[in-house]
Amino acid sequence: MKNRPLRIIIAITGLIIALIIFFQLSWLKKVVNYEEKEFNVKVVTILNEFKTQYVGERGRSVIDRPDETSYLLHMHEFIDSTVARRAIRLLMDKEQLNTACEVALYDSAAARYLFRFRIIPGKNSNDSSAHPPYAKAIPKEFSYLFISFPNRSKYIFSRLENWILSTALLILALAMLLVLLVNFLRQRYVIRFQRDFVNNIVHEFKTPLAVMKIASEVLNKERIAEQPDRLKKYAGIVNSQTNHLEQQVQRILQMMRSDKYDIELERTVIDTRELVNQVTTKLQPLIEDRQAVISIHISKEAEQVTGDAAHLELALVNLIENSLKYSKQPEILISASIVDRKLQISVKDNGIGIPRKYIPMLFEKFYRVPSGDIHNVKGFGLGLNFVKKVVDAHRGKIRVNSSEDAGTEFIMEIPQL
C-alpha cells in the first residue's frame, strides 16, 4: 500500500475531529446542566427567603416541582398579594434572576387561588388579572405559593449564547475541513485512476502501432511491387490494425462523451434475440480467440421489449467482453426475462470473479480491480461506468453477483413502459 502514511494521517485527523466535536458537545451539555442547577438554586433561595423573611414561617421549606418550570412552596400562613409581589421582585433582583414569572397563592381550605400575578423584569407590571396557565391545573390538599418561569429554557440559553456560538463555529470549521479532506481524497483517487487509464491507452495503442510500423516498412520496400501476395498481406495488416484503432478511439470517445452529456435515449420496440445475436456477431473474433462457449436463454415474454437498442447493444458488448476477458475458459450465459414488468438481461460467466470489497467501486470511472499487473488484461476502466449510465438513462438498475474464482453475473433491470 503506497499511501499508508497519508491514510494514517487522514484517519487520525478524522478521529481528532470527531473527538473535538464530541468533547465540545459534552462540555456544552455540562454547561447547560450547570446553568439549570444554578437556576434551580436561585429559585429555591428566593422561595426560602420569601418564607422566612416575608411570611415569617420558620423551619425547613417544603418545595414541590410539578414540572421543570414550576415550583410549589408549601404554606401555612397567608400573605397579601402586594407584599408578595414586592418581596418576590426584590428577591429576584437580589438573585439576578431576570426572567418573567407567574405567581399564585392557593388556599386548600377554600380550594381556590387567593391571588395571581405576573412579574416581568424591568416592567412594573400590575397585571394581576392574568391567570397563570399552570396554576389552574394544580388543586392540592395543602396550601401553596405557586411560582412558574415560562421562559426558563430561553433564559438558560441566553446565558449560553457565547458557548453555543463558539460550538457552532467550531463544528462549522471542522465540517468544512472534512469537506476539503474528502475533496482532496477524491482528487487523488481520480488522478490515480487517470494515470492508470493513460498507461492503459498507451499500452493499447502501442502494439497496433508497432505492427503497422513494421508493415509500412515492408510496404515501403521497392521490390514489394513484384510480390503482389506479400503486398496484399501487409496492406491487409495495416487496414485491420487501423480499423481496430479506429474502433477503440470511437469507443473511448463515446464513453467519455456519455460523461459530459446525458445519454439521450431513443426507445423503440426491440427484438431481444436479434439484439443478442448482433452483439455476439460483433464479438465473434474475440469469442473464437478465447474459445468461449456462449449460451443464450431468452424467455418468451422477453422476446420483444422496449428500450434504446443501440445503447443496450453497447452495454451488452461491454459486459460480454468483460466476461471473455476475465474468464480463463469462458462459458457465458446470456439470459433475458421479464420480472415485475422489468426486463432483466443478465450476463453470467465462470471467470475469476470479483472480490466483494471491490464491488462498490466497480461502476466508477477508470476503476479497475487491482490485480497486480494492470496490463495483464487490457482495459480502460470505462466499460462498467458506461453500462451503468445506459441503465440509469433507462431508469433501471444494475446488480452484480460475484464470487472469487467462481464467476460473475451482471444483471441489468430495464423497466418496461
- Where does this chain bind ligand ADP (CB under 6 A)? 318, 322-323, 326, 349, 351-354, 362, 367-369, 379-385, 408
- In whole angstroms, the minimum distance from the beta carbon of 367 to ligand ADP comes to 6
Three cell numbers at 255? 464513453
- In whole angstroms, the minimum distance from the beta carbon of 325 to ligand ADP comes to 6
Q: Which is nearer to ligand ADP, 152 or 388 (CB)?
A: 388
Q: Which is nearer to ligand ADP, 319 or 414 (CB)?
A: 319
- In whole angstroms, the minimum distance from the beta carbon of 278 to ligand ADP comes to 20
Q: Which is nearer to ligand ADP, 91 or 369 (CB)?
A: 369
Q: How many Å separate Cα 32 from the centre of its chain?
A: 32
- In whole angstroms, the minimum distance from the beta carbon of 191 to ligand ADP comes to 18
Return the DSSP state at 262. P
Q: Which is nearer to ligand ADP, 84 or 387 (CB)?
A: 387
Q: How many Å separate Cα 101 from the centre of its chain?
A: 46
User: Closest-CB residue for ligand ADP?
Assistant: 379
* Alpha-carbon span 82 to 101, nearest angstrom: 15
Q: Which is nearer to ligand ADP, 208 or 353 (CB)?
A: 353
* Alpha-carbon span 156 to 99, nearest angstrom: 10
Q: Which is nearer to ligand ADP, 215 or 398 (CB)?
A: 398
CA distances from 247 to 194, 243, 282 (A): 21, 6, 12
Positive or negative: CA dihedral 386, 298, 360, 180: positive
For 83, the 3-state DSSP assignment is: helix
**N-term to C-term CA, the chain:** 48
* Alpha-carbon span 354 to 30, nearest angstrom: 50
* Alpha-carbon span 310 to 307, nearest angstrom: 9
Q: Which is nearer to ligand ADP, 39 or 326 (CB)?
A: 326
**Residue found under cell 487496414:** 239
Please check whether residue 336 is in contact with residue 345, taking contact to mean a CB–CB distance below 8 angstroms: yes
- In whole angstroms, the minimum distance from the beta carbon of 303 to ligand ADP comes to 25
- In whole angstroms, the minimum distance from the beta carbon of 205 to ligand ADP comes to 15
- In whole angstroms, the minimum distance from the beta carbon of 334 to ligand ADP comes to 12
Ramachandran class of 341: left when φ > 0, alpha when ψ lies in -120 to 50, beta otherwise: left
- Bridge-based pairing of strands 101-107 and 268-271 is unpaired
Q: How many Å separate Cα 59 from the centre of its chain?
A: 62
* Alpha-carbon span 142 to 147, nearest angstrom: 15
Q: Which is nearer to ligand ADP, 5 or 285 (CB)?
A: 285
Please check whether residue 338 is in contact with residue 344, taking contact to mean a CB–CB distance below 8 angstroms: yes
Q: Which is nearer to ligand ADP, 310 or 406 (CB)?
A: 406
- In whole angstroms, the minimum distance from the beta carbon of 166 to ligand ADP comes to 48
- In whole angstroms, the minimum distance from the beta carbon of 354 to ligand ADP comes to 5
- In whole angstroms, the minimum distance from the beta carbon of 401 to ligand ADP comes to 11
Q: How many Å separate Cα 179 from the centre of its chain?
A: 13
Q: Which is nearer to ligand ADP, 143 or 385 (CB)?
A: 385
The secondary structure of 295-322, three-state, reads: EEEECHHHCEEEECHHHHHHHHHHHHHH
